Amino acid sequence: MNHPRHTRVAIVGAGPAGLLLARLLHRAGIDCAVLESRDRSYVEQRQRAGILEQSTVDILRHSGAADRLEREGIPHEGIELRFENRRHRIDFPALTDNRRVWVYAQTEVVKDLIALQLEDGAPLYFDAPVHAVEGADTDRCTVHYTHDGQDHTLTCDYVIGCDGYHGVVRKAVPDHVTQVHERAYPYSWLGILADAPPVYDELVYAHSARGFALASMRSPSVSRLYLQVPNGEDPASWPEDRIWDELDLRLGADAGWRLQRGPITARSVLPMRSSVTEPMRHGRLLLAGDAAHIVPPTGAKGLNLAVSDVTVLARALTGLYDSGSHDLLDAYSDTCLRRVWRAVHFSHFMTTTFHTSGNQSSFDTRLQLAQLDRVATSHHASAELAHNYTGTAVAQAPAAPPVGYLST
């Protein structure tokens, strides 16, 4: 296999952020290469988010990566909130000028993008761990990586870190040039996949004295369900009957409501935390997705923020190579962080409103219920939640003209 010695853009990480960025750059005529430390099977099986915002679906369509999404994705026009034996539906189209979300797992987005990349896209190397990134403050970066047992060196104009919070690109940014804002939450999620048809049409968010629960889905025959559990919980301590019984107790808005049970095919515990690294650029190193920010999954923002980041970045790089202007690239971090902090705030709101901790006072519980009652009884509060959940259009820097197909 021939390895390029130079490319304009080196992308580290073949998750949805890195793969979509490569797709956008390739379609814009900008050469790039993607380096992924894991093998293809691992990348295509990682269980992650499953909710796509309107703007995420729009950019997948623009990039030619939505054919299977159009056939198999499940559009949702609302979510249901359950608390105090009450049920309240948030009607997305009615509250947001016809915006909605789609249920389509991140694993499927990744499979679609990998297939397109291997068919007609830029170079994509699996089992290619990056060991070092150099030259952020010079006129050319150097990436050192291994593939097929051989060490390689790749020079490039820019390195994009899409390799997560613990990735090598984020570590290559000196600590003194960044500030990291973090919050850890005192609970986790036990998430399961089950071969059980959902008995609900849309996602159900449940506040309960026993803890939070969420009913989601992957398809008409596969349920994705979550339970709030203590940090450090061992998934093995939750046999199947215990999981189903607890889900019924937390989700049951009335005595007759029960889940359809089936074999649990996967289970894991997911810690809840928020983290934002500022700025998202250091010289010729740029961060996107989880390398720059992490949000708890309660607001379904993680994947969608990654898509927003790389859409802004692709527009900025297209502007640079088309016109020679650095304006959009120089504004990249500030442009993205405005949306990031809105999403962090919304995710924090959803997390702290629905979860209860073991030492929570009755005062705190009554505040949560008062907030949920306001959402259920106020058009403005429902509309604010709907707008945040379905997402805003991908941000642009002030006075920046749209560039080709990347315009929004």
Question: Edge-to-edge strand order for the sheet containing 101-103?
Answer: 51-52, 101-103, 74-76
The Cα–Cα gap between 370 and 313 comes to: 40
- Alpha carbon distance, N-terminus to C-terminus of the chain: 38
Q: Is 3 a catalytic residue?
A: no
SS3 (DSSP) at 216? strand
Q: Is 76 a catalytic residue?
A: yes
Q: Is 297 a catalytic residue?
A: yes
**Residue in 76, 282, 293, 355 annotated catalytic:** 76
**Residue in 226, 296, 297, 355 annotated catalytic:** 297
Q: Is 205 a catalytic residue?
A: yes
Q: pLDDT tens track of the chain, all 408 residues?
A: 688 899 999 999 999 999 999 999 999 999 999 999 999 999 998 767 789 999 999 999 999 999 999 999 999 999 999 999 899 999 999 999 999 999 999 999 999 999 999 998 889 999 999 999 999 999 999 999 999 999 999 999 999 999 999 999 999 999 999 999 999 999 999 999 999 999 999 999 999 999 999 999 988 999 999 999 999 999 999 999 999 999 999 998 565 678 999 999 999 999 999 999 999 999 999 999 999 999 999 999 999 999 999 999 999 999 999 999 999 999 999 999 999 999 999 999 999 999 998 789 999 999 999 999 999 999 999 999 999 999 975 554 433 333 333 333
156 closest CA partner among 37, 323, 317, 324: 317
* pTM for the full predicted model: 0.92
301 closest CA partner among 75, 85, 30, 101: 101
**Residue in 62, 293, 301, 355 annotated catalytic:** 301
The Cα–Cα gap between 167 and 243 comes to: 34
Which residues are paired to 190 by β-bridges? 227, 269
The number of C-alpha atoms within 13 Å of 146 and in the hemisphere containing its C-beta is: 8
